[in-house]
């Protein structure tokens, strides 16, 4: 009969108790035994919650002490040499060493998990001799069975995805590298089979990306082998975050079930199901409750969409589940206060989603066309929200307006004469150190312990202090320092209309680090100037130009939970129009340079190549909507935090910013390479030092970076700046590094 299932549950806990336990352990406030007891408790509590909710197939092994990709690497003994792991089970110390670095060894890199804001630790396969020192899926399976009587569904990260996400091997050797892991997966499955596991979920989200023919062949062979290894176990091959790229091939794989995302597939999976059908010897694990967003499901719509699948797959071969792990949504709406009843009723976090899954499963089981009470409730919410959700007509019009500034060559001349900057102008990316005092003062103000006026004065003092510091260092373009901002999205969200903020809506970003994305629930609109006060104040203190500092529309969208009743791009355009008003207000108040940051531009990139052009075009459109109405003399800057530019360079050009600053330190070579192949002929600053480390780089290092960059970039258009904002650095190291940076610029001016 139809079953309910879950793919993964948030680790952090209702009150972020998981995060707190981790951090206490790292600080030495919890002994290892105490820490283990605590996290065991949390894990079991989460299993119990899912079982109480009535979920049939409860995931086990999805819980992690940091990250599930790191867990997989550790399980196979894949530990980089520098951590001195001597074989056998990886200790907790080594595990966290890989994640966070040790005194002697740098941490493994971390990177985004597909198109989410979750980061995983990149496994390093160089010299790896995979072995199975430990079988955590088995341990977790037994634990759930023995302690709670739950027959869990172990979750494994599949071998193909695991190797694809790893580094340190020759892509030509992909097949043999994967083969090295297959026997280990086979023994895990065998042991699970012996222990009485019935279902196993193997995640292969790479099936939603473009795989090569060779990779496909590898995948097919792998599953052929694995299925034979443990014939008594039903393997669900789980995909998520998009449609599978080769549906017909996926459903032919020799597994028992296929898990498809029916929410974030752009309709592709559903269409494939109805066009090509579904094999009648397999189970369809239908991801119909949104695992990535926080809106309550319209249960009637969900049911009728399931009805469409009735002819494709029979009820007894159907599993109802979220579209992906619930790792990407907060824990529960229950604890939210101060959101307003109306909005609250439209929300569904992990716990509420479990309820939705069970409700839908029951309805399908009993053949009911509707679920009266639950349905009514969900309708109430939807009704309310719909009222605030019509795109204003005039704004819609503006959103379609194509905006084009005068050509860069003309703007450049005007800007050069108005701004009078030296060759190799120096600047920073926006933020200066957010010291404890700054954060403390803001907290006091938020609590109402400090008056608006006193807080404003405090911020102005910080600004004045840092304008003075920047003058003394000799920077050419100054910034106000962003002391008034906690977070670059939250700050704007709080000032724009259409946003709401939860008290406890945390989502894991990496390790113990959690983010609390704002909720965009209504039309976004400009209400009042957001940055003019601070920027104009800063400008009043100096003759040098002060750069205004805004967060771009795509970054705001990518770091928020976004309403789904209108296209995402419309939301981005609404934000862009609101930001345009801010840009114009800054300009009208004498600000001559405005930076619109888009650090998250790449994050929203669709997994499949064919969809990327559409995304990038929309992103460029929104950016230009925000930035193109200014005079030729107003210089538009932008900033991005990564250096994989090859693929998006045409879009970067299309942004038509007068100056772009890019982070480079972590892969300088690649970036330089992409400029060898593509000319870039507008203002550009490749970060000349890494801000992630407190180390003050030498003059030689910085000069070398600059020299390397101007081999492929026009020195006349080259800017000198750090990699990113300096918010997380201490004041002293910041000043010392900037002094060296200005010195490097001076030296370059003499030599070129």
Residues contributing to the annotated binding site: 16-19, 112, 117, 429-431, 482, 513-514, 559, 597, 603, 639, 641, 663, 724
Half-sphere exposure at residue 327, Cβ-oriented, CA atoms within 13 angstroms: 24
In angstroms, what CA-CA distances link 458 with 86, 247, 442? 54, 59, 9
Taking the complex as a whole, the smallest distance from the CB of residue 624 to ligand GLN amounts, in Å, to 20
Task: Please name every residue paired with 305 in a beta bridge, in sequence order, or none if there are none.
Answer: none
- The rounded Cα 70 to chain-centroid distance in angstroms is 17
Give 675's contacts (C-beta < 8 A, 6+ positions apart).
645, 709, 712, 713
636, burial (CB in 10 Å: exposed 0-12, middle 13-18, buried 19+): buried
Taking the complex as a whole, the smallest distance from the CB of residue 663 to Zn ion amounts, in Å, to 5
Cα–Cα distance measured from residue 154 to residue 348, given in angstroms and rounded to the nearest whole number: 25
Taking the complex as a whole, the smallest distance from the CB of residue 597 to Zn ion amounts, in Å, to 7
Nearer to ligand GLN, 491 or 501 (CB): 491
- Which one from 264, 480, 637, 692 is the annotated catalytic residue? 692
Nearer to ligand GLN, 80 or 430 (CB): 430
The site map against Zn ion for 718-737 (x = CB under 5 A) is ------x-------------
Residue 488 is a binding residue for Zn ion (CB under 5 A) = no
Known binding-site residues for L-homocysteine equal 429-431, 482, 597
Known binding-site residues for L-methionine equal 429-431, 482, 597
Nearer to ligand GLN, 489 or 748 (CB): 489
What tokens does 262 get? 């029916």
Nearer to ligand GLN, 336 or 597 (CB): 597
Taking the complex as a whole, the smallest distance from the CB of residue 188 to ligand GLN amounts, in Å, to 39
DSSP string, 232-292: TSEEEEE--SS--SSHHHHHHSSSSEEEEESSSSTTHHHHHHHHH---TTSEEEEEEE-SS
- The rounded Cα 539 to chain-centroid distance in angstroms is 34
Known binding-site residues for 5-methyltetrahydropteroyltri-L-glutamate equal 16-19, 112, 117, 513-514, 559, 603
Nearer to Zn ion, 4 or 595 (CB): 595
Strands (E), 263-421: 283-289, 318-322
Which run of H or of E encompasses 597?
A: strand 593-597
Nearer to Zn ion, 320 or 724 (CB): 724
Task: Please name every residue paired with 685 in a beta bridge, in sequence order, or none if there are none.
Answer: 661
Taking the complex as a whole, the smallest distance from the CB of residue 469 to ligand GLN amounts, in Å, to 16
Taking the complex as a whole, the smallest distance from the CB of residue 550 to ligand GLN amounts, in Å, to 9
- CA torsion angle for 175, 180, 186, 192 (degrees, to 10)? -120
63, burial (CB in 10 Å: exposed 0-12, middle 13-18, buried 19+): buried
Q: Is 521 a catalytic residue?
A: no
Binding residues for ligand GLN, per CB under 6 A? 429-431, 482, 488, 549, 597, 599, 639, 641, 724-725, 727
Nearer to ligand GLN, 549 or 575 (CB): 549
Known binding-site residues for Zn(2+) equal 639, 641, 663, 724
How many residues in total does the chain contain?
A: 752
CB 660 within 8 A of CB 682: yes
Taking the complex as a whole, the smallest distance from the CB of residue 516 to ligand GLN amounts, in Å, to 16
Nearer to ligand GLN, 431 or 651 (CB): 431
Task: Point out the residue whose Cβ comes nearest to ligand GLN.
Answer: 725
Cα–Cα distance measured from residue 425 to residue 441, given in angstroms and rounded to the nearest whole number: 34
Q: Which of 268, 309, 266 has the alpha carbon at shortest distance from 286?
A: 309
CB 143 within 8 A of CB 157: no
143 binds, among ligand GLN, Zn ion, none (CB under 5 to 8 A by kind): none
Which segment (86-94, 118-126, 556-564, 637-645) binds Zn ion by CB under 5 A? Answer: 637-645
Cα–Cα distance measured from residue 593 to residue 596, given in angstroms and rounded to the nearest whole number: 10
Taking the complex as a whole, the smallest distance from the CB of residue 33 to ligand GLN amounts, in Å, to 39
153 binds, among ligand GLN, Zn ion, none (CB under 5 to 8 A by kind): none
Residue 550 is a binding residue for Zn ion (CB under 5 A) = no
In angstroms, what CA-CA distances link 398 with 395, 473, 557, 571? 5, 43, 19, 13
Residue 641 is a binding residue for Zn ion (CB under 5 A) = yes
* Number of CB atoms found within 10 A of residue 746's CB: 14
Which segment (333-341, 617-625, 636-644, 672-680) binds Zn ion by CB under 5 A? Answer: 636-644
Interface of this chain with Zn ion, residues 571 to 610, rule: CB under 5 A? 599
Give 248's contacts (C-beta < 8 A, 6+ positions apart).
272, 276
597 binds, among Zn ion, ligand GLN, none (CB under 5 to 8 A by kind): ligand GLN
Q: Which of 239, 230, 163 has the alpha carbon at shortest distance from 202?
A: 239
Strands (E), 704-750: none
Q: Mind telling me the catalytic residues?
A: 692
- State the residues that interact with Zn ion by CB under 5 A: 599, 641, 724
């Amino acid at each position: 009969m139809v079953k309910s299932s879950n793919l993964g549950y948030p680790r952090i806990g209702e009150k972020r108790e998981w995060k707190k336990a981790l951090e206490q352990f790292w600080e030495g406030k919890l002994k290892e035994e105490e820490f283990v007891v605590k996290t065991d408790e949390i894990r079991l509590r989460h299993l119990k919650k899912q079982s109480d909710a009535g979920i049939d197939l409860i995931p086990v092994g999805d819980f992690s002490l940091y990250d599930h990709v790191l867990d997989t690497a550790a399980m196979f003994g894949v530990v980089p040499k520098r951590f001195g792991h001597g074989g056998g089970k990886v200790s907790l110390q080594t595990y966290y060493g890989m994640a966070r670095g040790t005194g002697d060894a740098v941490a493994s890199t971390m990177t985004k998990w597909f198109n989410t804001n979750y980061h995983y630790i990149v496994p390093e396969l160089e010299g790896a001799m995979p072995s199975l020192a430990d079988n955590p899926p088995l341990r977790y399976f037994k634990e759930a069975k023995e302690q709670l009587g739950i027959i869990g569904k172990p979750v494994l990260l599949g071998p193909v995805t695991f190797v694809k996400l790893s580094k340190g091997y020759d892509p030509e050797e992909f097949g043999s590298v994967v083969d090295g892991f297959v026997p280990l997966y086979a023994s895990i499955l065998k042991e699970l089979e012996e222990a009485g596991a019935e279902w196993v979920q193997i995640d292969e989200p790479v099936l939603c990306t473009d795989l090569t023919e060779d990779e496909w062949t590898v995948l097919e062979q792998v599953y052929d082998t694995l299925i034979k290894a443990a014939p008594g176990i039903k393997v669900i091959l789980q995909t998520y975050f998009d449609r599978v790229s080769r549906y017909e091939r996926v459903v032919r794989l020799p597994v028992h079930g296929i898990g498809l995302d029916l929410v974030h597939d752009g309709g592709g999976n559903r269409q494939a199901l109805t066009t090509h059908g579904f094999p009648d010897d397999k189970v369809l694990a239908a991801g119909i409750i949104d695992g990535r967003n926080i809106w309550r499901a319209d249960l009637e719509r969900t049911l009728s969409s399931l009805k469409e699948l009735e002819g494709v797959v029979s009820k007894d071969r159907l599993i109802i589940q979220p579209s992906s792990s619930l790792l990407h949504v907060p824990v529960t709406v229950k604890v939210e206060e101060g959101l307003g009843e109306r909005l609250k009723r439209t929300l569904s976090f992990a716990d509420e989603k479990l309820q939705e899954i069970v409700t839908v499963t029951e309805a399908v089981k009993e053949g009911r066309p509707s679920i009266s009470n639950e349905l009514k409730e969900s309708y109430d919410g939807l009704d309310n929200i719909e009222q605030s959700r019509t795109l204003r007509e005039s704004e819609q019009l503006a959103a379609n307006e194509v905006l084009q500034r005068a050509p860069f060559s003309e703007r450049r001349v005007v800007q050069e004469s108005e701004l009078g900057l030296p060759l190799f102008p120096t600047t920073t990316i926006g933020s200066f150190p957010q010291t404890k005092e700054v954060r403390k003062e803001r907290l006091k103000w938020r609590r109402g312990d400090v008056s608006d006026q006193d807080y404003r004065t405090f911020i102005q003092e910080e600004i004045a202090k840092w304008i003075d510091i920047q003058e003394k260092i000799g920077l050419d373009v100054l910034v106000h320092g962003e002391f008034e901002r906690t977070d670059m999205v939250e700050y704007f969200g709080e000032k724009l209309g259409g946003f709401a903020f939860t008290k406890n809506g945390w989502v894991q970003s990496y390790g113990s680090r959690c983010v609390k994305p704002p909720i965009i629930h209504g039309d976004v609109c400009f209400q009042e100037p957001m940055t003019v006060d601070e920027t104009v104040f800063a400008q009043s203190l100096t003759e040098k130009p002060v750069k205004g500092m805004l967060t771009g529309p795509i970054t705001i969208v990518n770091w928020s939970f976004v309403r789904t009743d209108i296209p995402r791009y419309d939301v981005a355009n609404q934000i862009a129009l609101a930001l345009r008003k801010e840009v114009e207000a800054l300009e009208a108040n004498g600000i001559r340079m405005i930076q619109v940051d888009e650090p998250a531009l790449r994050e929203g990139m669709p997994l499949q190549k064919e969809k990327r052009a559409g995304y990038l075009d929309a992103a460029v459109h929104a950016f230009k909507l925000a930035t193109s109405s200014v005079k030729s003399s107003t210089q538009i800057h932008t900033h991005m935090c990564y250096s994989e530019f090859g693929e998006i360079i045409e879009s970067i050009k299309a942004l038509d910013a007068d100056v772009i600053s890019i982070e480079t330190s972590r892969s300088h070579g690649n970036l330089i390479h992409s400029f060898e192949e593509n000319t870039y002929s507008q203002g550009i600053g490749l970060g000349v030092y890494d801000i992630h480390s407190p180390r003050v780089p030498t003059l030689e290092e910085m000069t070398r970076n600059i020299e390397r960059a101007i081999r492929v970039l026009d020195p006349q258009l080259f800017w000198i700046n750090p990699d990113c904002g300096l918010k997380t650095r201490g004041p002293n190291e910041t000043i010392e590094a900037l002094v060296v940076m200005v010195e490097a610029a001076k030296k370059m001016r003499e030599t070129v």
